[in-house]
Each structure stands twice: as structure tokens, then as C-alpha cells.
Amino acid sequence: MAFVLNDRVKETSTTTGTGSFSLSGAVTGFETFAAGIGNSNTTYYAIAHQTANEFEVGFGTLDGSSANIARTSIISSSNSDTAVNFSAGTKDIFCTLPSSKISLPSPKEYGSSSNPIIITTKVGTKTAAHPYSGQGSSSAYFLNGLESPAIRLSGVDASYKYYYRFDQSHSSNSGHPLRFYLEAAKTTAYTTGVTTNGSPGSAGAYTQIAVDANTPNILFYQCSSHGYMGNHTVSIGNDFNGDVNFRGNASLPDSKKIKIGNSDDLEIYHDGSNSYIDQTGGTGAIVLKAAASGSTLLTNSSSQNIISAGPTTAYLYNSGSVKLETTATGVQTTGTINVNGAYTMPTSDGSANQILETDGSGAVTFVDKPTAGASAGFVIAMAVAL
């Protein structure tokens, strides 16, 4: 069972009442429902009495031989949009496209796995109207008679995916298997939710895709054997195939995370109290990298409180003032150096031949070298320059 629309499908019927209609055969110049829609399939229909003021438009279901069509749901009618109790006489019944479908913004009927949306696929000669005219194959896919159109796929709920079946039973499809890719050039095949049946060009052959929120928002339908025969599809899923550019803010609620890496190795989030850059997996380092001209990492909007790195020097700030600087020969400090809270080093140099002395209470100063023995207090003879 599948939903099918087709042109010039029209039969007559003498059925009366509100039940299913028995189909009596095609009107001259038209096809039967069996030929144009197919056994057990669904379609939109219109019934018009040839002599009485009775009409009905609805969604119908053909039986297994297309001899009868059930009036599954009524869209509009001469009976206040309910089922018409048709009187005796001949009626025309034909395939139609209800105006309600056109007036709604991009409506799409649900296509289940057992009743997919059928897209009749044929292969013909590529024309200048093709988006890839002059590239790849000289052949093109024609979907429902249109030359390689861009199409939109619906489906967001993983429990109720939308199924689209590209029917390749027409003989022109021989040697042209339709498949899905992430690029028009077919570098990366997309196979999630994609099933195939039979050989293209033979009865029952098709390629089917199930669409939900995790289907890439851009896919390309192309021939696996020849280049640039098809076009692209779009959907409204959460999987973005390509760069994402925001013209406004991207806002996440508390504890919702930006996850980066094939295994979600890095997470960035705010839990309501604190903000985190969390490496949950992997063994590498977290590297903050900037251009050679330098970069600055801030803890607030007004002061450089952590680090600013130029091409050759790194700085440690406190309240906007540099306290530690790397140089080509070592480290330069500004301000006092307190060691473990036990003592504080001088901030200026002493005189020639002076030494450092502690008073035992945390103060270390430069003093003259004693002439004999040691002065009162413990003397530190510095062997290395700070």
C-alpha cells in the first residue's frame, strides 16, 4: 500500500449510497485507477454526479484489484463536507489534488513503512534545465515526471518515521541504482534508514529512505554508477550536513551541553552554578590556540585575570596588572613572592656582597655579610639568582 497521485485517471460508476464505489472502467482518453494508481494504494479522489447536484472530494483506498475504492475520509462535499448519499445515475470519479493541500504551507501526508510515499522514478536525457547540466552523465532522473527536482522530506519522530519509496521498476532505470550521499560528488554514502529491493529496471525495484530528526538536513540522490544524475533533498532534522552559521544567539538552558568529538570527548556547559569545559574522554590535552599576534583569556569582562599570550611571551595577570612574565631566558615577576605563606622575598636588590637573612617571622631582607660567625637569625646564602 502506498499513496499515489497521477494525471488523467478517470472512471465512471453507477454506485449509490455512502459506501465504497465500484469502478466501471476508464473514460475515453483516461487511465483506470488500476493503471494510474495501483492495487491497494491510496489517493485523492473526486466524485461528480453527471446529472444531479452531488459531488465529493476525499482520500480513498483501492482494494486489491482496484475494482472498488473506499471513501476513507471526506475533505469536502455537497453534503456539508460529509459523505454524500449518492442517488442513482452515472458518476465520474477521478484522481484530483484538493485545494486544501495547496493552501496549507507545504503539507505532506504521512507515509508509513507499510504505506510509503511513492515517487515514480525514471531515467531520461539530461537537459539544460538540470542543475548539473554539462557535468557527469548525460542522463538524469525524472521524479514523478519532473527532471531531477530538489525535494523536501518530512519526518522528525523516530517512532513514526516518514518513508519515501523511489520506485525504480520502469525499464529506463536499468543500470542506474538510486542511492543517497552527503555530497553531490558522492564522496560519502548515506545508508542509515535506506533500504533497496530488486534490480533497477525490473518489477518491484525501489530505493526507500526512512526520515526522522536524525536524518541529515541535506542529502543528495544520485546514481551509484554515474555522476550527477540527480539533485538534493532537504529536511528539518537535527543533523546538519554542512557548516552552521548563526545570525543570532545560540542559547542553551542549564546543563544542556555542546558535545565535540566522535565520542563526545569534550563537553561545554553551564550547570546553573558553574561553567565547565569538560574533557570526558580521550587522552590528549586541552589546548587554547590563537593566531601569532596573540590571545587573551579572561575571567571577567573588565580584567585580564588569567593569561595573555603573545607570539613570544606569556603573561599572568591580577586585576589588570602583570605579575608573571616569561622571557627568552626565564621568568620575570612583578610584586612580592610569598613562599608557602611562610616568608616573603624582597622586591628590590640589595647592595654588593649583601646576603639574605630571615628574622624567623616571615621577613627576608638583604643584610651585610657578618664578619665572623652568624648573625642572630638564620642566614640564607642564595646560590642561584631569582
Q: Which residues of 34-48 are buried (b: 16+ CB within 10 A; e: fewer)?
A: bebbbeebbbbbbbe
Burial label for 78, CB within 10 Å (0-12, 13-18, 19+), is middle
Judge whether residue 386 has pLDDT over 60. no
At 378 the pLDDT is 45
Answer for the pair 162, 111: CB distance below 8 angstroms, yes or no: yes
- pTM comes to 0.64
The DSSP symbol for 34 reads H
Positive or negative: CA dihedral 277, 278, 281, 285: positive
Answer for the pair 161, 211: CB distance below 8 angstroms, yes or no: yes
Highest mean pLDDT pick, 104-108, 166-170, 243-247, 291-295: 166-170
Question: Percentage of the chain with pLDDT > 70?
Answer: 90
CATH code of the domain made up of 117-234 = 2.60.40
- For 70-92, the pLDDT digits (tens) are 999 899 999 999 999 999 999 99
Q: Which range has the worst mean pLDDT, 126-130, 286-290, 351-355?
A: 286-290
At 306 the pLDDT is 64
Judge whether residue 383 has pLDDT over 50. no
- For 204-213, the pLDDT digits (tens) are 999 999 999 9
Radius of gyration of the chain (CA): 38
At 281 the pLDDT is 77
Q: Where does the pLDDT of residue 176 fall: very low under 50, low under 70, confident under 90, or very high at 90 and above?
A: very high
pLDDT top residue among 228 and 362: 228
- Angstrom distance (rounded) from CA 192 to CA 234: 16
- Angstrom distance (rounded) from CA 264 to CA 22: 59
- Angstrom distance (rounded) from CA 84 to CA 220: 45
Domain-by-domain residue ranges, the chain? Answer: 10-103, 117-234, 253-287, 295-333, 341-380
Judge whether residue 226 has pLDDT over 50. yes
At 305 the pLDDT is 61
**Hey, what's the cell of 261?**
568529538
